[in-house]
Amino acid sequence: MATKSIGLSQQPFEEIVAEHGPTVLRVCRAVLGRVDAEDAWSETFLAALSAYPRLRANSNIEAWLVTIAHRKALDHLRAASRRLVVTDEVPERPAKDGSPEGWESGLWEALEALPLKQRQTIAYHYLVGMPYLQVAEIVGGSEDAARRAAADGIATLRKTFPKGESR
């Protein structure tokens, strides 16, 4: 992004949200599904806002945010697995107004059916555009393992996602 940078000072956080908010939301959506995605997004950006003044200059902000989102998503998944009984709390459903299809698409549902590691590697590699080496640093394991997990996920998506939706 072109900025009239003054010295080593940081961009206002508002610019970080505008630039990376949509990508982080897609990551949260792909890894967690619809209900928890917005909670994880908020937790990610709140944690990022808190740590932001201490972030080193020239850091890869996108990778930093995805790493935080990764951890916040894991927190949600752990909390969900601990929840033996459904709580009384009804999760707030995101509104569906806006563009005709809104935020929903069969592809999201197909993604949700994949195992966690496949969802994570697909999200970070295909939705964010990270190389597999960087993906492996976030999810753990080797670069090859990350590539294989994503490939397995893609193979399943090709079978399950309705055909003929290419434009």
Partner 1 sequence: MMNERDLFAALPTIDEAVSQRLHQRLVDVANAAGLLDVAYRTIETPVGTLLLAATAKGLVRVAYASEDHDLVLERLARDVSPRILRAPARLDGVAREIEEYFARRRSTFDVPLDLQLSHGFRRRVLSHLPEIGYGKTASYAAVAKAAGHPKAVRAVGSACANNPLPVVVPCHRVVRSDGVEAKHMLLALESAA
**Interface stretch with partner 1, choices 12-20, 56-64, 72-80, 140-148 (CB under 8 A):** 12-20
User: Which range of residues in 56-64, 77-85, 94-102, 112-120 is near partner 1 by CB under 8 A?
Assistant: 94-102
Tell me the closest approach of the beta carbon of residue 134 to partner 1, in angstroms. 17
Q: What is the Cα–Cα distance from 87 to 106, expressed in whole angstroms?
A: 28
Does 132 interact with partner 1 (rule: CB under 8 A)?
Answer: no
Report in angstroms how near the CB of residue 30 gets to partner 1 at its nearest. 9
Interaction of residue 89 with partner 1, rule CB under 8 A: no
Cβ atoms within 10 Å of 26's Cβ, excluding its own: 18
**Spatial CA neighbour of 69 closest among 124, 13, 149:** 124
SS3 121: helix
Q: Taking CB under 8 A as the rule, which mask of x and - marks residues 29-68 in contact with partner 1?
A: ---------x--xx--xx--xx-xx---------------
How many angstroms separate the CA atoms of 70 and 81, rounded?
Answer: 17
Contacts of 100 (CB under 8 A, 6+ apart): none
